Amino acid sequence: MQYLLFDLDRTLWDFDGNAERTYRSMFERFELQKLCGVGFETFHERYRTINDALWEAYRNGTITKELLAIRRFSFTLEAFGRDPNSIEIIRLSQQMSDYYVQEGTRQTGLMPGARQLLQWLYEQRQLYRLAVITNGFSEAQLPKMHTAGIDKYFDHFFLSENLGFMKPDPQFFDAALSQMNAAPEQCLVIGDDYKVDILGAIKAGIPQVWYNYTSQTLPADAQKPTYTIRHLDELKTILNTNTPKK
């Protein structure tokens, strides 16, 4: 049996496409053009930088999930001249945060080839057991997999919130493997984020597939992933070559 551990956001679920649709509708719904005095593109670009920095802080344990959820909006509003500590901006940020989770989980866009790959794996389910490994929030990750119709393909859902560790901490991977009763060499981690998915798996001794769909280049001294692919379809070749057939 091979255990395939898939990251969710930007590996299977089209995080950026889905998020952009959600932010566009949020921008309209909360009349942010009027409030911030800028168009959607400017607002969204600023939001992305702030959100990335706050996620980094969340992974490092310097802010809580609750603060991250609110501050990504209140800090963006601050960047456009609003007072992030005023009652109305805190309240508005809370409403935006709720809206984001509600609306965001209704989006169904997947990465190119994701659904076909999962279906292909399902047809060979005697060979593979599938797991999701994600740092995302539980109230978002499970509903969005369900809405996109991909939850049925997975035997295990490993969320950092439940395991008590976040990728790239190797303890995240150790905990997941121990729940599946799997050895590292029986597993394959597939993820788009070199620092989070690939380095974490390397530290845990698990072979990895780096889904490098944005064609990033690694520094010369970086540890090489076991495999690198540009399209999810290429995973089939890796599996066909490496899976012992029963």
Q: Which of 2, 4, 6, 7 binds Mg ion (CB under 5 A)?
A: 7
Distance CA 75, CA 83 (A): 9
Whether 118 and 12 have beta carbons less than 8 Å apart is answered as yes
Please, which residue, 30 or 213, has the CB nearer to Mg ion?
213
Whether 20 and 152 have beta carbons less than 8 Å apart is answered as no
Distance CA 244, CA 18 (A): 37
Span from 121-129, 189-197, 218-226, 234-242 in contact with Mg ion (CB under 5 A): 189-197
Span from 10-18, 31-39, 82-90, 117-125 in contact with Mg ion (CB under 5 A): 10-18
Q: Which of 2, 4, 9, 158 binds Mg ion (CB under 5 A)?
A: 9
Token digits of residue 241: 């070559």
Q: Is residue 14 within the footprint of Mg ion (CB under 5 A)?
A: no
HSE toward the beta carbon, residue 88, CA cutoff 13 A: 4
Q: Which of 190, 192, 200, 210 binds Mg ion (CB under 5 A)?
A: 192
Whose structure tokens read 């956001």? Answer: 9
On the question of a cis peptide bond just before residue 207, with omega within 30 degrees of 0, the verdict is no
Please, which residue, 35 or 203, has the CB nearer to Mg ion?
203
Span from 5-13, 39-47, 110-118, 174-182 in contact with Mg ion (CB under 5 A): 5-13
From the centroid of its chain, how far is CA 205? 21
Token digits of residue 127: 């060979």
Distant-in-sequence contacts of 211-216, Cβ < 8 A, 24+ apart? 211/11, 213/111, 213/112
The residue number with the shortest CB distance to Mg ion is 10
Please, which residue, 3 or 210, has the CB nearer to Mg ion?
210
**Residue type, position 63, single letter:** I
Please, which residue, 14 or 192, has the CB nearer to Mg ion?
192
Q: Which of 2, 10, 159, 211 binds Mg ion (CB under 5 A)?
A: 10
Q: Which of 70, 190, 193, 235 binds Mg ion (CB under 5 A)?
A: 193
Give the containing element (helix H, strand E) for 161. Answer: helix 160-163
Span from 16-24, 91-99, 169-177, 191-199 in contact with Mg ion (CB under 5 A): 191-199
Site track 141-180 with Mg ion (rule: CB under 5 A), x = hit: ----------------------------------------
Please, which residue, 10 or 59, has the CB nearer to Mg ion?
10
Please, which residue, 169 or 193, has the CB nearer to Mg ion?
193
Distance CA 30, CA 96 (A): 8
Interface residue list for Mg ion (CB under 5 A): 7, 9-10, 192-193
